[in-house]
Amino acid sequence: MKDSYEIAVVHGDGIGPEVCGAAIEVLDATLGTGILRFIEYPAGAEHFLATGESLPEKTAQACRAADAILHGAAGLPGAVHPDGTEAGVDFSLKLRFGLDLYANIRPIRLYDGVESALVGIPAGGIDYVIVRENSEGLYAARGAGSVLRGDVAVDTLVQTRKGIERIVRKAFELARLSDGAPADGVRRVTCCDKANVLRSYAFFRAVFDEVAKDYPEIEAEHVIVDAMTMYLVQRPGHFNIIVTENMFGDILSDLAAATIGGLGMAPSAEVGADNGLFQPSHGSAPDIAGRGIANPYGMVLSAAAMLDWLGRKHDDKRLLDAGGRIRRVTEGALSAGCLTTDLKGSATTREVTDFLCQALASKEPITA
């Protein structure tokens, strides 16, 4: 345990500063000031447009040295590299590869008070985690693909035994700690791939099967990715932990978010052996930026995940307790109807933040 922890904060673009600011207020309301030291650094699309740099070296170094990294969101129209890819995504991708943040953990949970796009699903009826491989797969080609003579474009999908083993192991370890799937309470890890068509995915599946043998008490199954998109709509309650390649995990996590109220509800924790980056799954939503109506819940839940990770890493009960408190008041706020416009409510970012901070400050149970 340390006396205090340094958190590198990058607010980013669009609604990034609004939701990130909300999360910092909530963290302070939970822990008081002093335990977490927030230090802000520039990066992102706006910085790129102003300076030509999307991730300054000083920011990258500070992120590496910090105890954890908190990020709002990145990306702006027009902030593109000469090859047509976006500058806004540099921050996340460079940190993922540079700091080996191999596990992208994305909890998908339908909270009481939030309406799903799917009909007839009760609160808690969707409760699974997408464990997205975050350091290889198709994204490994970022910056290294090629376009030949203006006719042929190639990006290479890379899967290594080491990379697959560690992400699959992470998935089984999470299953061990979980309560199982909502539909039947079974602890289950689903390997999502395209093993029927491509060798690299057949390899992913073969390594998954090897690792699964070490966890006989946990059910292991395979689902092909195209069928998975259907099952996540038709019977989401079946799933507990889903482990998948980088690009598939990216796509599935947006689909999954749509079933729990939208991207504003989807947190994410990107962790490696030493570093952790915590940011919501959503983008910078420039269309609603600056209007004070962004949904901060995904960011706040990502901040709670940061406390869990830091708390476990440093064996610090203060942080573990605080993470639990944030999740409880979040649940309370949602079921009390404190909903932003994306959730069919009318609360502003400010109102949600105040609700959460007041609930954290009071010892009373939260009521509507």
Q: Which residues form the catalytic set?
A: 139, 194, 226, 250, 254
Complex with ligand IPM: residue 71 or 170, whichever CB lies closer: 71
Quote the CA–CA distance of 359 and 344 in Å, as a whole number. Answer: 22
* Binding site partner of 93, from Mn ion, ligand IPM, none, Cβ cut-off 5-8 A by kind: ligand IPM
Query: What angle (nearest 5°) sits at the alpha carbon of residue 26, between those of residues 298 and 264?
Result: 15
Q: With CB under 6 A as the contact rule, which of the stretches 19-27, 87-95, 144-152, 290-298 interacts with ligand IPM? A: 87-95
| Shortest CB 117 distance to Mn ion, Å | 17
Binder of ligand IPM out of 80, 93, 121, 255 (CB under 6 A): 93
Complex with ligand IPM: residue 69 or 89, whichever CB lies closer: 89
Structure tokens at 209: 């099967």
Complex with ligand IPM: residue 43 or 89, whichever CB lies closer: 89
285 to 324: interface string for ligand IPM, x by CB under 6 A: ----------------------------------------
Complex with ligand IPM: residue 281 or 330, whichever CB lies closer: 281
| Shortest CB 254 distance to Mn ion, Å | 6
Say if CB 343 and CB 262 are below 8 A apart. Answer: yes
Backbone dihedral region for residue 53 (phi beyond 0: left; psi -120 to 50: alpha; all else: beta) = beta
* Binding site partner of 89, from ligand IPM, Mn ion, none, Cβ cut-off 5-8 A by kind: ligand IPM
| Shortest CB 296 distance to ligand IPM, Å | 17
Binder of ligand IPM out of 30, 54, 200, 281 (CB under 6 A): 281
Q: With CB under 5 A as the contact rule, which of the stretches 28-36, 40-48, 72-80, 250-258 interacts with Mn ion? A: 250-258
Binder of ligand IPM out of 30, 54, 59, 92 (CB under 6 A): 92
Q: With CB under 6 A as the contact rule, which of the stretches 46-54, 85-93, 115-123, 291-299 interacts with ligand IPM? A: 85-93
| Shortest CB 282 distance to Mn ion, Å | 8
Query: Which residues 6+ apart lie within 8 Å of 150 measured at CB?
Result: none
* β partners of residue 189: 220, 241
Distances (CA, A) of 178 to 240, 245, 363: 8, 21, 28
Binder of Mn ion out of 90, 133, 250, 308 (CB under 5 A): 250
Binder of ligand IPM out of 250, 308, 316, 342 (CB under 6 A): 250
Structure tokens at 7: 């958190």
Strand order in the sheet with 103-109: 36-40, 5-12, 68-73, 276-278, 269-271, 103-109, 127-133, 241-244, 188-193, 219-224
| Shortest CB 150 distance to ligand IPM, Å | 26
Complex with ligand IPM: residue 70 or 329, whichever CB lies closer: 70
Q: What are the b/e assignments for 179-206, b being 16+ CB within 10 Å?
A: ebbbbeeebbbbbbbbbeeeebbebbbe
Query: Which residues 6+ apart lie within 8 Å of 336 measured at CB?
Result: 113, 355, 366, 367, 368
* Binding site partner of 92, from ligand IPM, Mn ion, none, Cβ cut-off 5-8 A by kind: ligand IPM
| Shortest CB 41 distance to Mn ion, Å | 22
Quote the CA–CA distance of 147 and 160 in Å, as a whole number. Answer: 25
Say if CB 92 and CB 74 are below 8 A apart. Answer: yes
Applying CB under 6 A, the site for ligand IPM has a residue count of 5
Structure tokens at 4: 């205090």
89 binds ligand IPM (CB under 6 A): yes
Helices (H), 99-137: none
| Shortest CB 151 distance to ligand IPM, Å | 26
Q: With CB under 5 A as the contact rule, which of the stretches 35-43, 160-168, 243-251, 263-271 interacts with Mn ion? A: 243-251
118 C-beta neighbours (distance < 10 Å), count: 17
DSSP letter at 205 equals H
- Binding interface with Mn ion (CB under 5 A): 250
- Binding interface with ligand IPM (CB under 6 A): 89, 92-93, 250, 281
